Structure 1
Amino acid sequence: MKLGEGVEAAIHCAAMLAGVDGNSTMSGAAMAEAFGLSPSYLLKHLNQLTAARILGSVSGPSGGYRLARSAERITLLDIVLAVEGTEPAFRCGEIRQRGPVKLDASAYVKPCGINAAMLKAERAYRAALAEAKLSDIVADFMNDADPRTIAASCAFVERHQRPQKVQPSPKVQQGKV
């Protein structure tokens, strides 16, 4: 099974956004720079993550992206399905029913054993991805990565995050709490 490069980029961006403070955002251009990707290429995947409600986007000059929910509530399966779609990787075309040895459809009453095995593997693969939380990926990085990598990554996030002004409620604006 081969996943597109977009999955890797999406997971890295989500992990990076897990380090953004509070309501702050980070621009797609900054994330593209961090990973040496084309901004237009990355934007496609950031939009997929936004449509899947993994990321939230804020428009405007100081806008950008942030996680739409906590990293504890985002799995690798969520990200893979957002980027790759929900179709299984293996799609049986019933080629056993074609070619010169093609028989009447009644000869193929039992499901294709190859399809059954591939779908079983797909379920196991998806179950493993569903158990892998973004928060665990980030925690493992913070515990196991070279300290220079951690420092460089944290400094990049700190430099590129965009704090968002939180509008106080009308009662607070009027001095009433």
Structure 2
Amino acid sequence: MKLREGVEWAVHCCINLSWVPEGRAVPVAKLAEFHGLPTAYLNKQMNALARAGIVSSHSGPRGGFRLSRAPEEISLMDVAVAIDGQAQAFLCTGIRHHGVAGKITGLEGRRVPCTVAQAFSTAELAWRHHLAGQTIAGLAHAIRKANPTAPDHIRHWFNHN
């Protein structure tokens, strides 16, 4: 399963937004600068999160993005779907029905579940289930546990830059 880098960027931004004071919006340029990312590309990711209802966008001099749901209510799967969509990672093309394979296996024209597709589907379901069980709050907690000063440093940086 491959996710685009925008998913990683979006998750980090959601964690950062979970640590800024409630109600405060952070401009996308500040989020981009903090992580050394291109502002225009990060803006696309943040707008995708806004369309999914994960963040809200606010205009004006104090504008920017903020979480629109509690971090406990935002799963990694929510973020992944907002950025990469819901398409399945593996799509069975029915290769076992074509060419010589279809003739010698006796599957030609028959509707029998594909063992390969089932294996990938089971793995993807487990992967999606795992991401759905992981929240922004859970990751923020793990980061805070590994580096207790991280939230304070991030709040300070966003407040003073």
**2:90 counterpart residue number:** 90
After superposition, the Cα gap between the structure-2 partners of 1:48 and 1:19, relative to the gap in structure 1 and judged at 3 Å, is same
Checking the alignment, whether the CA contact within 8 Å between 1:55 and 1:69 is kept in structure 2 is yes
User: Normalising to structure 1: TM-score of the pair?
Assistant: 0.83
Structure 2 distance, partners of 1:90, 1:145, is 37
> Over alpha carbons, which structure has the higher Rg?
1
**1:63 counterpart residue number:** 63
Q: Helix, strand or coil: the match of 2:99?
A: coil
Residues 131-170 of structure 1: matches in 2 within 5 Å? 131-145=133-147, 147=149, 149-159=150-160
One-letter code of the match for 2:35?
F
Q: Helix, strand or coil: the match of 1:3?
A: coil
Structure 1 distance, partners of 2:26, 2:135, is 21
After superposition, the Cα gap between the structure-2 partners of 1:21 and 1:150, relative to the gap in structure 1 and judged at 3 Å, is closer
**2:109 counterpart residue number:** 105
What does the per-residue CA deviation read over 1:126-160, in whole Å, with 9 as the maximum and x for residues that have no partner? 1111111111111111111274x555323223325
Aligned residues: 157
- Taking only aligned residues, the RMSD between alpha carbons, in angstroms, comes to 1.6
Q: CA deviation at 1:95?
A: 1.6
**1:121 counterpart residue number:** 123
After superposition, the Cα gap between the structure-2 partners of 1:29 and 1:67, relative to the gap in structure 1 and judged at 3 Å, is same
One-letter code of the match for 2:64?
G
**Contiguous gaps of at least 5 residues in structure 1:** 161-177
Structure 1 distance, partners of 2:120, 2:54, is 28
**1:52 counterpart residue number:** 52
Q: CA deviation at 1:90?
A: 1.1
User: Normalising to structure 2: TM-score of the pair?
Assistant: 0.90
One-letter code of the match for 2:159?
E
**2:32 counterpart residue number:** 32
**Contiguous gaps of at least 5 residues in structure 2:** none
Q: CA deviation at 1:73?
A: 0.6
Identity of aligned residues (%): 34
After superposition, the Cα gap between the structure-2 partners of 1:58 and 1:75, relative to the gap in structure 1 and judged at 3 Å, is same
